[in-house]
Protein backbone atom coordinates (compact mmCIF):
# COMPACT_ATOMS: atom_id res chain seq x y z
CA UNK A 1 0.00 0.00 0.00
CA UNK A 2 2.86 2.36 0.86
CA UNK A 3 4.44 1.80 -2.56
CA UNK A 4 1.14 2.54 -4.27
CA UNK A 5 0.85 5.79 -2.33
CA UNK A 6 4.36 6.74 -3.36
CA UNK A 7 3.35 6.50 -7.00
CA UNK A 8 0.28 8.62 -6.42
CA UNK A 9 1.72 11.24 -4.12
CA UNK A 10 5.23 11.93 -5.46
CA UNK A 11 5.82 15.67 -6.13
CA UNK A 12 3.93 16.54 -9.28
CA UNK A 13 5.36 20.06 -9.10
CA UNK A 14 8.66 18.69 -10.41
CA UNK A 15 6.87 17.49 -13.53
CA UNK A 16 5.17 20.80 -14.14
CA UNK A 17 8.17 23.02 -13.50
CA UNK A 18 11.18 21.08 -14.69
CA UNK A 19 10.36 18.53 -17.39
CA UNK A 20 10.45 19.89 -20.94
CA UNK A 21 7.12 19.64 -22.72
CA UNK A 22 6.45 16.18 -24.10
CA UNK A 23 9.50 14.51 -22.60
CA UNK A 24 7.47 12.47 -20.12
CA UNK A 25 4.73 11.51 -22.55
CA UNK A 26 4.22 7.74 -22.69
CA UNK A 27 5.68 5.79 -25.61
CA UNK A 28 4.65 2.25 -26.56
CA UNK A 29 6.93 -0.22 -24.76
CA UNK A 30 8.47 -2.76 -27.10
CA UNK A 31 11.05 -5.45 -27.53
CA UNK A 32 14.15 -4.14 -29.27
CA UNK A 33 16.06 -7.40 -29.64
CA UNK A 34 16.66 -10.53 -27.61
CA UNK A 35 16.06 -9.68 -23.92
CA UNK A 36 16.26 -5.88 -24.23
CA UNK A 37 13.05 -3.83 -24.12
CA UNK A 38 12.23 -0.14 -24.36
CA UNK A 39 10.29 1.11 -21.33
CA UNK A 40 11.08 4.83 -21.47
CA UNK A 41 9.05 7.89 -22.34
CA UNK A 42 8.66 9.68 -25.66
CA UNK A 43 12.07 11.34 -25.24
CA UNK A 44 13.81 9.89 -22.18
CA UNK A 45 15.09 6.43 -22.94
CA UNK A 46 14.94 3.63 -20.38
CA UNK A 47 15.79 0.04 -21.15
CA UNK A 48 14.79 -3.18 -19.40
CA UNK A 49 17.16 -6.13 -19.66
CA UNK A 50 15.23 -9.26 -18.70
CA UNK A 51 17.04 -12.24 -17.18
CA UNK A 52 16.04 -15.45 -15.35
CA UNK A 53 17.44 -14.00 -12.11
CA UNK A 54 15.65 -10.67 -12.26
CA UNK A 55 15.89 -7.61 -14.45
CA UNK A 56 18.17 -4.65 -15.03
CA UNK A 57 16.78 -1.15 -15.60
CA UNK A 58 18.89 1.49 -17.29
CA UNK A 59 17.96 5.11 -16.52
CA UNK A 60 15.23 6.07 -14.05
CA UNK A 61 14.91 9.53 -15.68
CA UNK A 62 13.01 12.22 -13.75
CA UNK A 63 11.24 11.13 -10.58
CA UNK A 64 8.00 11.93 -12.39
CA UNK A 65 9.05 9.51 -15.16
CA UNK A 66 9.03 6.50 -12.82
CA UNK A 67 5.25 5.83 -12.98
CA UNK A 68 5.47 5.96 -16.79
CA UNK A 69 8.36 3.48 -16.77
CA UNK A 70 6.53 1.22 -14.34
CA UNK A 71 3.40 1.21 -16.49
CA UNK A 72 5.50 0.27 -19.53
CA UNK A 73 7.22 -2.56 -17.68
CA UNK A 74 3.88 -3.97 -16.55
CA UNK A 75 2.29 -3.54 -19.98
CA UNK A 76 4.99 -5.84 -21.34
CA UNK A 77 3.98 -8.43 -18.75
CA UNK A 78 6.91 -8.01 -16.35
CA UNK A 79 6.86 -7.12 -12.67
CA UNK A 80 8.41 -3.81 -11.67
CA UNK A 81 9.47 -5.43 -8.40
CA UNK A 82 11.66 -7.87 -10.38
CA UNK A 83 14.15 -5.07 -11.14
CA UNK A 84 17.29 -6.06 -9.25
CA UNK A 85 19.80 -3.57 -10.66
CA UNK A 86 19.40 0.07 -11.72
CA UNK A 87 22.17 1.49 -13.93
CA UNK A 88 22.89 5.15 -14.61
CA UNK A 89 24.34 6.65 -17.78
CA UNK A 90 25.30 10.10 -16.52
CA UNK A 91 24.67 12.62 -13.75
CA UNK A 92 21.85 14.74 -15.16
CA UNK A 93 18.40 14.85 -13.53
CA UNK A 94 16.58 13.65 -16.65
CA UNK A 95 18.37 10.30 -16.26
CA UNK A 96 18.97 9.77 -12.52
CA UNK A 97 16.51 11.88 -10.53
CA UNK A 98 14.14 8.91 -10.18
CA UNK A 99 16.78 6.60 -8.66
CA UNK A 100 15.54 6.98 -5.09
CA UNK A 101 11.94 6.19 -6.02
CA UNK A 102 12.96 3.12 -8.05
CA UNK A 103 15.08 1.98 -5.11
CA UNK A 104 12.13 2.49 -2.75
CA UNK A 105 9.75 0.53 -4.98
CA UNK A 106 12.06 -2.35 -5.94
CA UNK A 107 15.04 -2.51 -3.60
CA UNK A 108 17.30 -2.57 -6.67
CA UNK A 109 21.05 -2.13 -6.40
CA UNK A 110 21.87 1.33 -7.79
CA UNK A 111 25.00 1.33 -9.96
CA UNK A 112 26.66 4.67 -10.76
CA UNK A 113 29.88 5.68 -12.47
CA UNK A 114 32.55 6.64 -9.95
CA UNK A 115 33.48 9.91 -11.68
CA UNK A 116 29.86 11.07 -11.92
CA UNK A 117 28.94 9.96 -8.39
CA UNK A 118 29.41 13.39 -6.74
CA UNK A 119 27.11 15.00 -9.29
CA UNK A 120 24.59 12.18 -9.02
CA UNK A 121 24.36 12.60 -5.25
CA UNK A 122 23.25 16.21 -5.73
CA UNK A 123 19.86 15.12 -7.08
CA UNK A 124 17.64 14.68 -4.02
CA UNK A 125 13.98 15.14 -5.02
CA UNK A 126 11.91 15.86 -1.94
CA UNK A 127 15.11 15.93 0.10
CA UNK A 128 15.63 12.16 -0.23
CA UNK A 129 19.20 10.90 -0.08
CA UNK A 130 20.36 9.67 -3.48
CA UNK A 131 21.06 5.94 -3.21
CA UNK A 132 24.35 4.62 -4.60
CA UNK A 133 25.17 0.98 -3.91
CA UNK A 134 28.00 0.32 -6.34
CA UNK A 135 30.53 2.47 -8.16
CA UNK A 136 31.91 1.42 -11.53
CA UNK A 137 34.83 2.58 -13.66
CA UNK A 138 35.71 2.36 -17.33
CA UNK A 139 35.72 -1.28 -18.40
CA UNK A 140 33.77 -2.59 -15.41
CA UNK A 141 30.85 -4.94 -16.01
CA UNK A 142 27.41 -5.49 -14.52
CA UNK A 143 26.17 -9.07 -14.79
CA UNK A 144 22.85 -10.66 -13.92
CA UNK A 145 21.25 -13.91 -15.05
CA UNK A 146 23.67 -14.48 -17.94
CA UNK A 147 23.50 -10.92 -19.30
CA UNK A 148 26.56 -8.68 -19.06
CA UNK A 149 26.80 -4.95 -19.71
CA UNK A 150 30.20 -3.25 -19.94
CA UNK A 151 30.82 0.40 -19.07
CA UNK A 152 32.76 2.72 -21.38
CA UNK A 153 33.82 6.14 -20.12
CA UNK A 154 32.83 8.83 -22.64
CA UNK A 155 33.56 12.13 -20.81
CA UNK A 156 32.49 15.54 -22.02
CA UNK A 157 28.73 15.76 -21.72
CA UNK A 158 29.51 15.03 -18.07
CA UNK A 159 32.91 14.23 -16.58
CA UNK A 160 31.99 10.58 -16.12
CA UNK A 161 29.48 9.90 -18.89
CA UNK A 162 29.15 6.11 -19.37
CA UNK A 163 28.09 4.26 -22.48
CA UNK A 164 27.16 0.60 -22.07
CA UNK A 165 27.64 -2.32 -24.44
CA UNK A 166 26.19 -5.82 -24.52
CA UNK A 167 25.80 -8.62 -27.05
CA UNK A 168 22.35 -9.62 -28.30
CA UNK A 169 21.19 -12.52 -30.44
CA UNK A 170 18.53 -12.68 -33.13
CA UNK A 171 17.92 -15.30 -35.83
CA UNK A 172 21.15 -17.09 -35.01
CA UNK A 173 23.31 -13.96 -35.29
CA UNK A 174 25.11 -11.99 -32.57
CA UNK A 175 24.86 -8.21 -32.58
CA UNK A 176 26.89 -5.68 -30.62
CA UNK A 177 24.48 -3.29 -28.89
CA UNK A 178 25.61 0.15 -27.74
CA UNK A 179 23.58 2.29 -25.37
CA UNK A 180 25.22 5.65 -25.90
CA UNK A 181 25.58 8.05 -22.99
CA UNK A 182 25.39 11.40 -24.80
CA UNK A 183 27.57 13.08 -27.40
CA UNK A 184 25.57 16.28 -27.23
CA UNK A 185 27.92 19.22 -26.74
CA UNK A 186 25.86 22.00 -28.26
CA UNK A 187 24.95 23.73 -25.00
CA UNK A 188 28.00 23.16 -22.80
CA UNK A 189 30.45 25.78 -21.61
CA UNK A 190 33.91 25.48 -23.17
CA UNK A 191 35.56 28.81 -22.46
CA UNK A 192 36.59 29.71 -18.91
CA UNK A 193 35.01 26.58 -17.48
CA UNK A 194 36.65 26.46 -14.04
CA UNK A 195 34.65 23.40 -12.98
CA UNK A 196 35.73 21.39 -16.02
CA UNK A 197 38.90 22.94 -17.50
CA UNK A 198 39.71 19.98 -19.80
CA UNK A 199 36.20 19.65 -21.25
CA UNK A 200 37.31 20.44 -24.82
CA UNK A 201 40.02 17.76 -24.76
CA UNK A 202 37.56 15.26 -23.29
CA UNK A 203 34.91 16.00 -25.91
CA UNK A 204 37.35 15.52 -28.78
CA UNK A 205 38.73 12.31 -27.28
CA UNK A 206 35.20 10.98 -26.80
CA UNK A 207 34.21 11.55 -30.44
CA UNK A 208 37.36 9.69 -31.45
CA UNK A 209 36.63 6.84 -29.04
CA UNK A 210 32.98 6.68 -30.13
CA UNK A 211 34.06 5.60 -33.60
CA UNK A 212 36.04 2.67 -32.20
CA UNK A 213 33.19 1.10 -30.22
CA UNK A 214 31.51 -1.84 -31.94
CA UNK A 215 27.91 -0.85 -32.66
CA UNK A 216 25.36 -2.85 -34.60
CA UNK A 217 22.29 -2.03 -32.50
CA UNK A 218 22.32 1.73 -31.86
CA UNK A 219 20.50 2.97 -28.75
CA UNK A 220 20.96 6.08 -26.62
CA UNK A 221 19.90 7.99 -23.52
CA UNK A 222 17.46 10.12 -25.52
CA UNK A 223 14.98 8.61 -27.94
CA UNK A 224 15.52 11.35 -30.51
CA UNK A 225 19.27 10.64 -30.64
CA UNK A 226 18.72 7.24 -32.27
CA UNK A 227 15.52 7.99 -34.17
CA UNK A 228 13.20 5.92 -32.01
CA UNK A 229 9.93 7.13 -33.53
CA UNK A 230 10.84 6.19 -37.10
CA UNK A 231 12.44 2.90 -36.09
CA UNK A 232 9.45 1.92 -33.96
CA UNK A 233 7.14 2.55 -36.90
CA UNK A 234 9.30 0.26 -39.04
CA UNK A 235 9.28 -2.32 -36.26
CA UNK A 236 5.47 -2.36 -36.32
CA UNK A 237 5.49 -3.09 -40.04
CA UNK A 238 8.30 -5.63 -39.89
CA UNK A 239 7.55 -8.89 -41.60
CA UNK A 240 9.31 -12.27 -41.64
CA UNK A 241 12.81 -11.83 -43.03
CA UNK A 242 12.77 -8.03 -42.73
CA UNK A 243 15.77 -6.47 -41.01
CA UNK A 244 15.50 -5.26 -37.45
CA UNK A 245 15.30 -1.45 -37.73
CA UNK A 246 17.42 -1.01 -34.60
CA UNK A 247 20.39 -2.54 -36.39
CA UNK A 248 21.85 0.73 -37.61
CA UNK A 249 25.67 0.97 -37.54
CA UNK A 250 25.77 3.64 -40.25
CA UNK A 251 23.16 5.70 -38.44
CA UNK A 252 25.36 5.58 -35.35
CA UNK A 253 28.42 6.84 -37.23
CA UNK A 254 26.34 9.59 -38.84
CA UNK A 255 25.14 10.56 -35.35
CA UNK A 256 28.73 10.83 -34.13
CA UNK A 257 29.63 13.02 -37.12
CA UNK A 258 26.62 15.27 -36.59
CA UNK A 259 27.28 15.91 -32.93
CA UNK A 260 30.99 16.38 -33.38
CA UNK A 261 30.27 19.12 -35.92
CA UNK A 262 27.74 20.78 -33.61
CA UNK A 263 30.28 20.69 -30.77
CA UNK A 264 32.98 22.31 -32.89
CA UNK A 265 30.50 24.97 -34.01
CA UNK A 266 29.50 25.74 -30.41
CA UNK A 267 33.16 25.90 -29.38
CA UNK A 268 34.04 28.25 -32.25
CA UNK A 269 31.15 30.53 -31.32
CA UNK A 270 32.28 30.76 -27.71
CA UNK A 271 35.90 31.39 -28.69
CA UNK A 272 34.67 34.20 -30.93
CA UNK A 273 32.86 35.77 -27.97
CA UNK A 274 29.35 34.55 -28.79
CA UNK A 275 26.81 32.89 -26.55
CA UNK A 276 25.90 29.26 -26.16
CA UNK A 277 27.15 28.49 -22.66
CA UNK A 278 25.54 25.77 -20.63
CA UNK A 279 23.03 26.66 -17.96
Mean pLDDT of 245-259: 98
Distance (Å, rounded) from C-alpha 137 to C-alpha 114? 6
Amino acid 275: pLDDT: 52
Contacts of 75 by beta carbon, 8 Å cutoff, 6+ apart:
29
Sheet containing 54-58: which strands, arranged edge to edge? 30-33, 36-38, 47-51, 54-58, 83-87, 109-113, 134-136
SS3 of residue 101 by DSSP: helix
Name the helix (H) or strand (E) containing 88: none
Q: Above 90 in pLDDT, residue 11?
A: no
pLDDT in tens, 43-100: 999 999 999 999 999 999 999 999 999 999 999 999 999 999 999 999 999 999 999 9
Correct CATH for 2-271 of 1.10.1370.40, 3.30.450.40, 3.60.15.10, 1.20.200.10: 3.60.15.10
Q: In percent, how much of the chain has pLDDT > 70?
A: 92
Amino acid sequence: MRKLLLLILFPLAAFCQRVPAGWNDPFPPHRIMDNVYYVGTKELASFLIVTPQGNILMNSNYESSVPVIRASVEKLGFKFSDIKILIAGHAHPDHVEGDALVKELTGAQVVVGRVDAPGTREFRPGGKEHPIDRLVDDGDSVTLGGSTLTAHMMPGHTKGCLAWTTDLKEDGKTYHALIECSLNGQFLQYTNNKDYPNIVEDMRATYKKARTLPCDVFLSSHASFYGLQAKYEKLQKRGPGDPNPFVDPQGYLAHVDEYEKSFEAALAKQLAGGQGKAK
